A and B are shown apart, each in its own frame.
Chain A
Amino acid sequence: MAHLTLDPNLAAADDAYAALIDAHEGLTREESDAMNARLILILMNQIGDVQVIREALEAARR
């Protein structure tokens, strides 16, 4: 069974982070919130494993 990793997993972490910030450029607070919600749903589907998602939710609430 797959588990959540909290160890570095992105080869170019700075690029990924910058892409996230850039994507919010020019959006209002509301538009940003809505985009984040869609992004979370898209990433959940990409993960495709409810156990990993539960672990991620738990880690995020810590």
Chain B
Amino acid sequence: MTWQDRYPLAFRLYPYARSADQDAGTPAHHPVTIVGGGPVGVATALDLALRGVPVLVLDDHEGVGQGSRAICFAKRTLEIAHRLGFGAELLAKGVVWNRGRVFHDRDEVFGFDLLPEDGHCYPAFINLQQPWFERFLVEAVERARAQGAPIEIRGRNCVTSMEARDDGVTLEIETPDGAYRITTDWLIACDGAKSPTRVRMGLGFDGRVFEDNFLIADVKMTADFPPERWFWFEPWFKSGASALLHKQPDDIWRIDFQLGWDIDRKAELDPARIRKRIELMLGPDVDYELDWTSIYTFQCRRMERFRHGRVIFAGDAAHQVSPFGARGANSGVQDADNLGWKLAAVLRRDAPESLLDSYDAERIHAADENIRNSTRSTDFITPKTPQSRLFRDAVLHLATHAPFARPMVNSGRLSVPAVYDGSPLNTPDALPGGPARTRPGAPCPDAALADGGFLLDHLDGSGFTLLVLGATPPTLPQGLRALVLDAGASPNLRARYLGQAERALYLIRPDQHVAARWAACDAEKLARALDRALGGTP
């Protein structure tokens, strides 16, 4: 087989190297194998490896493809990256933003601030080209490997066939040196929206296709627009039915134009034509270069189930949304966050295999929320029927003079992590007066501590934590760590974790989601909640 990359690389991060597995007489065995070296696959791998689980990543390329693609990384993703060891790099390189403004024609009709409170280590969002996100992630893998984390990424290792059994999977892998086989107990498919693994298994991927095309033009220019997300409906400059302007690092600006459904794709990608649209928007005198252009259409869909025995799907392979709301890569990284500790607990025999069914339950709940939000945004930006269009225009018309209509203006509801309400791992809320935002199932909001640090830094993910605020902790089961903090000295902790309550105990999962909370709890209650959060029978 001759190797022809499907796309040019931005960074060559894991060049092909012959592995001993290729010379093995019988197929080598790996506990966990991940197909796909994108952000979701590598984040899942790093999470597992940091928990001591040996993991192998197979990718058919040797690094990251060109093109900025995903650019908006949300607070929750940054917090997960922090836990995995590359949050600081993202923050240093990325463009921090919290605010967005929405225009209709020339009028500003809506504005939002995604982080109107203090006491957080990370901002609501950074903008960063996806290749940089992946590069920092792979560099974190290299650092973890140097510290002994059992993780290996094999470039130009393309899975060509698979055989899934009840207790594992056999993979046939093509390389520049020929084919070889391996066996694995668990296969995690992070191989993108077109997931060859999903296709090979004949699994469905149903949902809605939206009849619209969007042109992305990333341009390089020096401009002093603020680092805010600017979105126009029916812009006065007429470059598209809608338009978006958003800053990225290195003087790159993301510009999006809505083109409609019936277009000549090739003609629209003609640089002269793209420049004409850009110059209508920016004026004829602005100096810029085209950095990357692309036309995309989009779908909102998901698999019916993400877990199929020993094969587990994550990221775009499992669910796909429109880009409005930055819910693609961000939700994929949260899949990794959810799956890592669970699979590690199953492999360590700390939890039954059925714990992994909660990955399905929780991440399908999250995918449905993302699809719902993304679909609503898309219906507003691209109304499907004359009636839908009529009401969309009515909202935009009213928004200029009637404040009530402004929150209805929907140019994308930006990614926030799902609260796993109703998850089988949750113990019913037992903290009267406790804030809704930290109820069981919720991701822990960060909080500035009295000593100047941040709460999430103390929830390092290596295991469960019992957060104790002014209460008396019971005897702790083995392996559970107590984190005793003085809520009186931290207004953030008090507001976000106590509310009207005077004291509280929170059982927090390795992925920083709340499993249970009480005003008071004894050893038995605690043990029951912990057992339940590990997939035991409630």
Contact surface of A with B, Cβ cutoff 8 Å:
33-34, 37-38, 40-42, 45
A41 to chain B, nearest CB (A): 6
Q: Which chain B residues lie closer than 8 Å to A38 at the CB level?
A: 394, 397-398
Instruction: Report the separation of the CA atoms of residues A45 and B404 in the bound assembly, to the nearest whole angstrom.
Output: 7
7 closest cross-chain pairs (CB), A and B: A37-B394, A45-B404, A38-B394, A37-B390, A37-B391, A38-B398, A41-B394
Q: From residue A50, how far is it (CB to closest CB) to chain B in Å?
A: 13
Q: List 24 A-B contacts (CB under 8 A).
A: A33-B390, A34-B390, A34-B393, A34-B394, A34-B397, A37-B390, A37-B391, A37-B393, A37-B394, A38-B394, A38-B397, A38-B398, A40-B391, A40-B394, A41-B391, A41-B394, A41-B395, A41-B408, A42-B398, A42-B402, A42-B404, A45-B402, A45-B404, A45-B405
In the bound complex, how far is the Cα of B397 from the Cα of A38, in angstroms? 8
Most B CB within 10 A of own CB, among A33, A34, A41, A45: A41
Do A41 and B393 touch across chains, with their CB atoms under 8 A apart?
A: no
B364-405 interface code vs A (CB 8 A; 1 in, 0 out): 000000000000000000000000001101110110001011
A40 to B405 Cα, complex, angstroms: 12
- Name the residue of chain B whose CB is nearest to the CB of A33: B390
- Docked-complex contact B390 and A41, CB < 8 angstroms: no
Contacts of B390 in A (CB 8 A): 33-34, 37
Chain B: how many interface residues by the 8 Å CB criterion?
11
Residues of chain A contacted by B402 (CB below 8 angstroms): 42, 45
Shortest CB-to-CB span from A8 to chain B, Å, is: 27
Query: How far apart sit A37 and B398, CA to CA, in the bound complex (Å)?
Result: 10
15 more contacts with CB within 8 A, not counting A40-B394, A41-B391, A42-B404, are A33-B390, A34-B390, A34-B393, A34-B394, A37-B391, A37-B393, A37-B394, A38-B394, A38-B397, A41-B394, A41-B395, A42-B398, A42-B402, A45-B404, A45-B405
In the complex, A42 Cα to B402 Cα: how many Å?
Answer: 9
Residues of chain A contacted by B394 (CB below 8 angstroms): 34, 37-38, 40-41
A42–B391 Cα distance when bound, in Å, is 12
Which residues of B lie under 8 Å from residue A33 when comparing CB positions?
A: 390
The residues of B that contact A34 with a CB separation of less than 8 Å are 390, 393-394, 397
For residues 279 through 317 of chain B, which have their beta carbon under 8 Å from a beta carbon of chain A? none
Report how far A38 CA is from B392 CA in the complex, Å: 10
> Which A residues touch B391, using CB under 8 A?
37, 40-41
A52 CB, nearest partner CB in chain B, Å: 16
Nearest Cβ distance between residue B28 and chain A, in whole angstroms? 58
Give complex CA distance A45, B402 in Å: 10
Residue of B nearest to A44 (CB): B404
Q: Which residue of A lies closest to B389 (CB)?
A: A37
Taken together as a complex, chains A and B put the C-alpha atoms of A33 and B405 apart, in Å, by: 18
What per-residue 1/0 map shows which CB atoms of B395-430 lie under 8 Å from chain A? 101100010110010000000000000000000000
Inter-chain CA distance A33–B394, complex, in Å, is 10
Q: Which A residues are in CB contact (< 8 Å) with B408?
A: 41
Minimum Cβ distance to chain A for residue B461 (Å): 38
A38 to B402 Cα, complex, angstroms: 11
Q: Which residues of A contact B397 (CB under 8 A)?
A: 34, 38
How far apart are the CA atoms of A10 and B402 in the complex, in Å?
25
CA distance A37 to B391 in the complex (A): 6
A41 to B407 Cα, complex, angstroms: 12
**When chains A and B are docked, how far (Å) is the Cα of A34 from the Cα of B394?**
6
